[in-house]
Structure 1
Amino acid sequence: MDNPSLNRCRAPDPRHLVVKQAIHWTLRLRNSADNPRLLQQCDTWRAAHHEHEQAWQRVQSLQQELHGQLRAVPGAQVAFDTLENSAQRLGRRQALKLLGGVMLLGSAAWLGKEQLAWQQWNADFATATGERRGFQLPDGTRLELNTDSAADLDFNARQRLIKLSRGEIMLTCGPDPQADTTRPLLVRTRHGLFEGVDARFVVRLEGDCTRLSVTAGSVTIHAPHSPPTRVQAGQNYRVSASQAVPVPPLDMDVGAWADGLIVTRNMRLADFIQEVGRYRHGYLGCADEIGELRLSGVYRLEDTDKLLAVLPQTLPVRLRYRTRWWVTLERLA
């Protein structure tokens, strides 16, 4: 058993240190962009290891995302510019501290959900809001990440484990390529463990549960307070901290997002809008009086503004843009 006192003395995770270094370089360059020596030092650090470059790219991407969102908040433009200008007048150490606070904290009231994305820097695989990515794992398994998702890989001689900490993934897996071993392919969330057997399945982590949808093969659910449950193709389960129960199929194709699509079948407009909202920043809402309207069709996710513009052509609704980041659907007068 690990000694708690020793655990407290362990060195920080190296990946955490790399991310902190990337943030540090970003802030130093922000305050001294015209310093060629500093630029060269940063380039040398980035080239020293592939993890350095990966962390650098993630920091730059998220910095731009948060910067754009903060400027979209009413009244935040002046506040942000004031902070930025003040930082330029301060000493180097104070400026780094002030700008670091802006980058790391953003607007706590408005960007609370988006701040969780900072946790993704340390994940082996991660996507930003609206982004979808696919990966081929060492064993030949295909891993697809949906919008705003994060997962870690833990493959060793005994197991093939994927830890889903945020969002949604789709896996297409086959038998273990190491013929002399039996390593199950496992997905772990905070609600349970999912064991795939020559299968294609979707695991979606929500606030109080994990949703499992199997489209091919079979998956066994190992939940804390339930016996192992084998789920066959075409079945859907909801797994919470207390139980694993079958649920009706969703009113959409559970894996169409991997192809950049939402495919609906008589879906409630309110549910559809909630789903589309996962792929864009800001607020997307639907008036209660039109929430029960139904729609079926194929919708492309690469541009959610264009997707939304299609809805008034088929439903008695209109779009109301307060800003690009604040959109509501209302009944057509």
Structure 2
Amino acid sequence: MGPAHPPPQVVKQAIHWLLRLRESGHDPALAQQCEQWRSSHHEHELAWQRVLSLHQDLDLRALPAAGVALRTLETSQRRLHRRQALKLLGGVALVGSAAWLGKDLDALHAWTSDYATGTGERRSFQLPDGSLLQLNTRSAADLAFDQRQRLIRLRQGELMLTCNALQGQGRPLLVETRDALLEGFDGRFVVRQDADCTRVSVSQGKVAIHRPGHGQLQWITSGQAWRLDTQGAQQVEQQAMDASAWAEGLIVTRDMRLADFLAEVGRYRHGYLGCSEAVADLRLSGVFRLEDTDGLLELLPQTLPVRLHQRTRWWVRVERMG
């Protein structure tokens, strides 16, 4: 008799198959591969059926039978975007474990990316041209290298790129974000995509900003940081945080607001982390290790007049002392 619930990693594989089939439209070869995966082990079929059973929660049309590609996640009212579908999937206990889903939700969001990290994870990747790509927490990027260019699309989060102009054999090395197209040359730079802008910091070398409708390139040189949005590009004169320290597992702050600091730490952990308005504008300078965010938070009362109000490990609020 098979298990009551398929293993989490098998459920993730089943969702991955579903998304691949959706994206392919109608690909008989891919559908055949999926069918072979399902029939190779009883846990695979169980996981597949569990995923399909979510159709009522996702408000889907009838899903395909065995061997038929999943053509669409569309209803008569709306088409669910892949990420919206994953959010809905994340709200259902696929394997009877809400904790597992919460932990891996970021990974689910990034499954269709070439490179991705989960919450609190930092990874390094050697690219085909020899460049070094590093991804910070909750980040995802796609790679499109061809005969004309080397393109990295930052879908979410933050990357650091270490590159050499000679590696490309004449092909430009480009990083695309929602706000701009950046060209890297010899050196190292960080690109971060926030909700309202893209931030670029250059540690070594230089980066060119390509903007539609602008005839001339704008240059970011070593030691500079810029903010790019729909209104234009502006140099940031003073930064409250070292933009590249995360690659060494650190947060390095310089007179940073406590509320902003907690928002940054919150990127590396699950659950709620915030503070009261009474302490939001307190300033913080120092070097903090990311490997243990619980321990990091415990340091705050030693340097600021605050206390930690902790309901659970996943709910922490910083309040005024007393």
Structure-1-length-normalised TM-score? 0.69
More deviation in 216-225 or 270-279? Answer: 216-225
CA offset digits 1:99-141 (Å, max 9, x no partner): 9959852339x999x8565331011100011111011111111
The structure 1 residue matched to 2:42, chosen from 33, 38, 46, is 38
**Aligned ranges for residues 87-166 of structure 1 at < 5 Å?**
96-98=52-54, 104-107=88-91, 117-166=107-156
Q: 1:303 maps to which residue?
A: 292
Q: 1:313 maps to which residue?
A: 302
**Aligned ranges for residues 130-209 of structure 1 at < 5 Å?**
130-177=120-167, 181-209=169-197
The structure 2 residue matched to 1:222, chosen from 210, 224, 228, is 210
Alpha-carbon distance in structure 1 between the residues aligned to 2:42 and 2:232: 55
CA offset digits 1:20-55 (Å, max 9, x no partner): 959x96xx9xxxxxxx9525xx5xx9xxxxxxxxxx
More deviation in 272-281 or 289-298? Answer: 289-298
Q: Which amino acid aligns with 1:190?
A: R
Displacement of 1:328 after TM fit? 0.4
Q: 1:49 maps to which residue?
A: none
Q: 1:275 maps to which residue?
A: 264
**Aligned ranges for residues 259-274 of structure 1 at < 5 Å?**
259-274=248-263
- SS in structure 2 opposite 1:280? coil
More deviation in 238-247 or 157-166? Answer: 238-247
Identity %: 53
CA contact (8 A) 1:139 1:176 kept: no
Structure-2-length-normalised TM-score? 0.71
CA contact (8 A) 2:106 2:119 kept: no
Pick closer, same or farther for the CA change 1:123–1:264 going to 2, 3 Å. same
CA contact (8 A) 2:107 2:116 kept: no
Where does the alignment leave 5 or more consecutive residues of structure 2 unmatched? 1-22, 59-85, 93-97
Alpha-carbon distance in structure 1 between the residues aligned to 2:274 and 2:50: 41
Q: Which amino acid aligns with 1:211?
A: R
Alpha-carbon distance in structure 2 between the residues aligned to 1:298 and 1:13: 52
Alpha-carbon distance in structure 1 between the residues aligned to 2:278 and 2:158: 30
Displacement of 1:13 after TM fit? 9.4
Number of residues paired by the alignment? 260
CA offset digits 1:215-248 (Å, max 9, x no partner): 1100001123544201111111111123111122
Alpha-carbon distance in structure 2 between the residues aligned to 1:100 and 1:123: 27
Alpha-carbon distance in structure 2 between the residues aligned to 1:273 and 1:98: 36
CA contact (8 A) 1:204 1:210 kept: yes
Q: 1:212 maps to which residue?
A: 200
Q: 1:324 maps to which residue?
A: 313
Alpha-carbon distance in structure 2 between the residues aligned to 1:37 and 1:183: 45
- SS in structure 1 opposite 2:53? helix
Q: Which amino acid aligns with 1:278?
A: R
Pick closer, same or farther for the CA change 1:37–1:141 going to 2, 3 Å. closer
CA offset digits 1:59-104 (Å, max 9, x no partner): xxxxxxxxxxxxxxxxxxxxxxxxxxxx9xxxx9578504995985
Q: Which amino acid aligns with 2:142?
A: D
Q: Which amino acid aligns with 1:163?
A: R
CA offset digits 1:276-307 (Å, max 9, x no partner): 01111111101111112112111111111111
Alpha-carbon distance in structure 2 between the residues aligned to 1:100 and 1:159: 44
Alpha-carbon distance in structure 2 between the residues aligned to 1:306 and 1:175: 41
- SS in structure 1 opposite 2:278? helix
Where does the alignment leave 5 or more consecutive residues of structure 1 unmatched? 1-9, 29-35, 46-86
Q: Which amino acid aligns with 1:107?
A: G
Alpha-carbon distance in structure 2 between the residues aligned to 1:164 and 1:205: 8
CA contact (8 A) 1:105 1:115 kept: no
CA contact (8 A) 1:176 1:183 kept: no
CA contact (8 A) 1:223 1:244 kept: no
Q: 1:238 maps to which residue?
A: 227
Pick closer, same or farther for the CA change 1:96–1:244 going to 2, 3 Å. same
Q: Which amino acid aligns with 1:172?
A: T
Alpha-carbon distance in structure 1 between the residues aligned to 2:49 and 2:157: 37
